[in-house]
Structure 1
Amino acid sequence: MSLYRHILLALDFSEQARALAEKALMLSRQHGARLSVVHVLDNIAMPDTSYGTSIALTERRENPELETEKANFKQLVDEFKLDQENAWLVWGNPKQEIVALADKLKADLIVVGSHGRHGLQVLLGSTANAVLHHANCDVVAVRIRDA
């Protein structure tokens, strides 16, 4: 029996996203686990929708910022040969949405990147720290070195 059956990878579009995705893929292969990936849209306005905060990669919108975000996310999903049905693009607060999606998917493990900041930056809050303290499953925070 594998320790993990479903891994949720939380990605942004930083330069280190690909290295983070490679580590999550390695973990999913080692455990024979399904890999889902999420990108949280927290930097563009959310339209008034009746269907919630999630948006399909195939859905077209008249919002250039959204279309750019979708294209970037789809490129990562395609590059790592992930199933689009396991790729989630959601609006909201990354700290809350990552944990909520992990619960919804019944993920055993969340993989997030951590910049390892100290002092005032930690007090202001980091996504990895919040996910670690609020998730109902294991969390792996992969150290990301700023260039």
Structure 2
Amino acid sequence: MDKYGHILVAVDYSHHCRIVAEKARQLASLHQAKLSLLHVLDNIPMPQMQYGTIIPLDELSDNTLLEAEKTRLIELGKDLGISKDNCQLVWGMPKREITLFADRKDVDLIVVGSHGRHGIALLLGSTANAVLHHAHCDVLSVRLKD
């Protein structure tokens, strides 16, 4: 097996993201690879709201929202020993932006989390499935249990 030189872990801040990120950190250590952390900003769900309101997040959003997202990502990176220079926020659709980022940064392996999907969720697809089918590099899908 060839060694990986650059591993990308895509995180979504779910309660499982640390499991996925730790798996990527272990692989990066094993392969002595650069490890990058990516979070794709699309919308911020606000579950504490009565109706589950979603706040659109874009370039014109309140700076405090963006700063909170940056801080969260940098803190996760720090916990994993990833420098803040290798922690990236990008805007867009996660399914698309993860593979574009990997192409631009010469990533050898993308690590994403995946839940087992059934029924309609399987038909609609998932971010992990889209990354798997569109990436130009290896993809490790870490099975997550609810």
Task: Output the TM-score relative to the length of structure 1.
Answer: 0.85
Are the counterparts in 2 of residues 128 and 141 from structure 1 also a CA contact under 8 Å? yes
* Structure 2 residue corresponding to 1:47, chosen from 38, 47, 59: 59
Aligned residues: 134
- 2:64 equivalent to 1:64: yes
1:8 maps to a residue whose letter is: L
Q: Which secondary structure state, in structure 2, belongs to the residue aligned with residue 110 of structure 1?
A: strand
The 5 Å alignment of 1:97-116 reads 97-116=97-116
Are the counterparts in 2 of residues 8 and 110 from structure 1 also a CA contact under 8 Å? yes
CA positional deviation for 1:88: 0.8
| 2:19 match | 19
1:103 maps to a residue whose letter is: D
The gaps in structure 1 that reach 5 residues or longer are 49-60
| 1:124 match | 124
> For residues 111 and 36 of structure 2, what CA distance do their matches in structure 1 show?
10
The gaps in structure 2 that reach 5 residues or longer are 44-55
Q: Larger deviation: 84-93 or 94-103?
A: 84-93
Q: Report % sequence identity.
A: 53
> For residues 123 and 66 of structure 1, what CA distance do their matches in structure 2 show?
33
Are the counterparts in 2 of residues 114 and 128 from structure 1 also a CA contact under 8 Å? yes
Q: Name whichever structure is richer in strand by fraction.
A: 2
Q: Which secondary structure state, in structure 1, belongs to the residue aligned with residue 25 of structure 2?
A: helix
RMSD: 1.6
CA positional deviation for 1:2: 4.7
2:145 maps to a residue whose letter is: R
Q: Larger deviation: 134-143 or 83-92?
A: 83-92
| 1:8 match | 8
| 2:52 match | none
> For residues 123 and 72 of structure 1, what CA distance do their matches in structure 2 show?
32
Q: Larger deviation: 38-47 or 1-10?
A: 1-10
Task: Output the TM-score relative to the length of structure 2.
Answer: 0.86
CA positional deviation for 1:67: 2.2
